[in-house]
């Protein structure tokens, strides 16, 4: 009986053996993977930024049905995935908010997966947790937050904003019966994930107050104050101000210092969404008036919470955002849980655990992808790349204006908007056709937005692979098109 059981166990062990390849097999797999990855990277300059596609219907289905060898799998990936739609690794990606995907960061991801360290709880993975906490502390120092502040490394800016919001709700000890009285102050340019966060954390009944903006899409502190006074007079409860350090549409930075003053005066929580723009605080450039560009970020250090995306401004692969929060106690109270099966883990509180500060328990050891590039390169190359992006955007702004395009306000950071107004015909349709032409061509990718009911084309420069060559190519594509159409 016992022997039979053992026999059965051994049979199953053999059947599961492919899951544990030996070194020779692993090295052979590595070679195939490496060849593929290196060919992909070498081919990037000639690879499109956008591939038109019809439909993914019938593709990549039933992953379990028939097995393929690794080269076969990579061929399928190449044909059915990498040649479809946007290629975010391309320096030609100028749409939405690009990032790129640093190779050294990818190695961090690979090692995180191979070693599979547990980054959720200090007791289980003290090294992983300490490493991620040190990265959070570094981000806090960068943003001028005090040493007592903490936060969390998230999968991206959306979850970072959600954690900040949930913490603000906790800090106020708000009850559901009070939600409808709470007032949230933001502009119409705030990222849509903020609205999602409000809804997900249960506060859809709260009053969202859209504060007026100046002609550069920055929140008007005078109107903010006015709206708060109005709400107080009506018996509502001003709750939170959400500023942006770089909006997605136009890259505008709200007057953070003035917003912080209003927040302090009226005892509101002040949150800054710096998902796109936060790392530009590193840039040592001047703005168009000759003031240090850094001044735009003054007051960011006065925020109660802040969202920032290393998978944008530090060019890492998708999957790394961060939230920084000063009121660690409220963050903890909103997110911790003690389960019986985790009773061993409660002891060591020398370091805070991510599982007590976010919705996640088991989590990806996502900090390694940031730690490795920082250890390898230091901060200087990042700073240089960020400054390069700003100057490229200014260069583009001047060049496109020379071509007769209408432009939005001078770019605060590395996003700007522009449109061509033809003498005859519908301007919106003309610009939409231009974007369609660029996207169909595929060498570059741009996206558009609607501002004041008008169609505007955006350029967002943030990939570490976008250089003068790419911007000149984009200008050339537009020039050729205009020659034909005008």
Ligand X SMILES: *Cc1c(COP(=O)(O)O)cnc(C)c1O
| Binding residues for ligand X (CB under 6 A) | 97, 156-158, 191, 193, 244, 248, 273, 275-276, 309, 321
Q: Closer to ligand X at the Cβ: 156 or 221?
A: 156
3 state DSSP class of 261: helix
Q: Closer to ligand X at the Cβ: 191 or 419?
A: 191
Q: How far is the CB of 211 from ligand X (least distance, A)?
A: 16
- The DSSP secondary-structure symbol of 93 reads B
Closest residue to ligand X, based on beta-carbon distance: 157
Q: How far is the CB of 443 from ligand X (least distance, A)?
A: 24
14 neighbors 8 (Cβ within 8 angstroms): no
Residue 180 CA, chain-centre distance (Å), reads 30
Q: Closer to ligand X at the Cβ: 273 or 301?
A: 273
Q: How far is CA 50 from CA 84, 87, 181, 357, in A?
A: 7, 6, 46, 38
Q: Closer to ligand X at the Cβ: 186 or 283?
A: 186
Q: How many CA atoms lie within 13 A of 162 on its CB side?
A: 20
Strands 237-244 and 182-186: parallel
Q: How far is the CB of 191 from ligand X (least distance, A)?
A: 3
Q: How far is the CB of 200 from ligand X (least distance, A)?
A: 13
DSSP string, 351-399: S--GGGTSS-SS---TTHHHHHHHHHH-SHHHHHHHHHHHHHHHHHHHH
Q: Closer to ligand X at the Cβ: 133 or 414?
A: 414
Positive/negative CA dihedral, 424, 427, 428, 432: positive
Reading the block at residue 340, the tokens are 């019986």
Q: Closer to ligand X at the Cβ: 125 or 313?
A: 313
Residue 79 CA, chain-centre distance (Å), reads 27
Q: How far is the CB of 164 from ligand X (least distance, A)?
A: 11
Q: How far is the CB of 321 from ligand X (least distance, A)?
A: 5
As a dihedral over the C-alpha atoms of residue 255, residue 257, residue 259, residue 265, rounded to 10 degrees, the angle is: -160
Q: How far is the CB of 155 from ligand X (least distance, A)?
A: 7
Longest dimension (CA), the chain: 91
DSSP string, 266-310: HT-EEEEEETTTGGGGG---B-TTSSBGGGGGTTGGG-SEEEE-H
Reading the block at residue 425, the tokens are 């015909």
To the nearest 10 degrees (0 to 180), the angle between helices 221-233 and 256-266 is: 20
Q: Closer to ligand X at the Cβ: 90 or 158?
A: 158
Q: Closer to ligand X at the Cβ: 94 or 97?
A: 97
Q: How far is the CB of 385 from ligand X (least distance, A)?
A: 18
Question: Which residue in 135, 132, 169, 163 sits closest to 353, CA to CA?
Answer: 132
Q: How far is the CB of 27 from ligand X (least distance, A)?
A: 35
Q: Closer to ligand X at the Cβ: 244 or 414?
A: 244
- The DSSP secondary-structure symbol of 344 reads G
Positive/negative CA dihedral, 147, 151, 154, 160: negative
Q: Closer to ligand X at the Cβ: 193 or 438?
A: 193
Q: How far is the CB of 242 from ligand X (least distance, A)?
A: 10
Phi, psi of 356 (to 5 degrees): -90, -5
Q: Closer to ligand X at the Cβ: 271 or 419?
A: 271
Q: Closer to ligand X at the Cβ: 160 or 434?
A: 160
Q: How far is the CB of 12 from ligand X (least distance, A)?
A: 41
Q: How far is the CB of 320 from ligand X (least distance, A)?
A: 9
470 neighbors 444 (Cβ within 8 angstroms): yes
**Total residues found in the chain within this entry:** 486
d(CA 164, CA 167): 5
Q: How far is CA 364 from CA 153, 351, 412, in A?
A: 10, 18, 34
């Amino acid at each position: 009986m016992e022997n039979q059981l053992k026999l059965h166990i051994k049979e199953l062990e053999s059947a599961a053996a492919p899951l544990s390849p030996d070194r020779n097999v692993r090295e052979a797999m590595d070679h195939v993977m490496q060849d593929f990855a290196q060919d992909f990277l070498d081919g990037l300059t000639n690879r499109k930024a956008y591939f038109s596609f019809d439909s993914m219907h019938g593709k990549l289905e039933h992953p379990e049905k028939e097995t393929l060898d690794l080269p076969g799998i990579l061929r399928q990936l190449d044909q059915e995935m990498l040649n479809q739609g946007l290629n975010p690794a391309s320096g030609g990606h100028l749409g939405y908010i690009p990032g790129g995907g640093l190779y050294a960061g990818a190695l961090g991801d690979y090692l995180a997966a191979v070693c599979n360290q547990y980054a959720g709880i200090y007791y289980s993975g003290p090294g992983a947790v300490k490493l991620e906490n040190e990265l959070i502390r570094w981000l806090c120092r960068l943003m001028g937050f005090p040493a007592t502040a903490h936060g969390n490394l998230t999968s991206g800016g959306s979850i970072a904003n959600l954690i900040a919001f949930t913490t603000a709700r906790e800090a106020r000890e708000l009850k559901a019966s009070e939600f409808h009285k709470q007032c949230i102050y933001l502009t119409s340019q705030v990222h849509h994930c903020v609205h999602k966060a409000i809804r997900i954390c249960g506060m859809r009944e709260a009053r969202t107050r859209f504060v007026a903006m100046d002609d550069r899409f920055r929140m008007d502190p005078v109107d903010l104050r006015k709206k708060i006074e109005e709400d107080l007079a009506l018996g509502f409860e001003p709750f939170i101000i959400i500023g942006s350090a770089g909006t997605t549409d136009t890259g505008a930075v709200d007057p953070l210092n003035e917003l912080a003053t209003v927040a302090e005066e009226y005892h509101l929580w002040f949150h800054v969404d710096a998902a796109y723009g936060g790392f530009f605080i590193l840039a040592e450039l001047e703005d168009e008036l000759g003031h240090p560009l850094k001044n735009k970020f003054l007051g960011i250090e006065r925020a109660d919470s802040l969202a920032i995306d290393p998978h944008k401004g530090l060019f890492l692969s998708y999957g790394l955002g961060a939230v920084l929060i000063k009121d660690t106690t409220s963050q903890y109270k909103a997110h911790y849980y003690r389960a019986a099966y985790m009773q061993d883990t409660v002891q060591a509180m020398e370091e805070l655990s991510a599982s007590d500060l976010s919705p996640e328990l088991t989590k990806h050891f996502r900090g390694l992808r940031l730690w490795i590039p920082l250890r390898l390169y230091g901060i200087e190359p990042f700073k240089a790349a960020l400054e390069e992006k700003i100057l490229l955007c200014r260069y583009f702004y001047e060049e496109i204006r020379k071509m007769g395009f209408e432009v939005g306000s001078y770019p605060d950071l590395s996003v700007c908007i522009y449109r061509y107004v033809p003498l005859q015909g519908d301007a919106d349709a003309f610009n939409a056709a231009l974007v369609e032409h660029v996207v169909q061509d595929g060498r570059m990718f741009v996206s558009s937005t609607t501002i004041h009911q008008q169609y505007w084309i955006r350029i967002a420069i943030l990939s570490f692979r976008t250089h003068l060559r790419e911007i000149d190519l984009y200008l050339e594509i537009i020039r050729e098109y205009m020659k034909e159409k005008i």
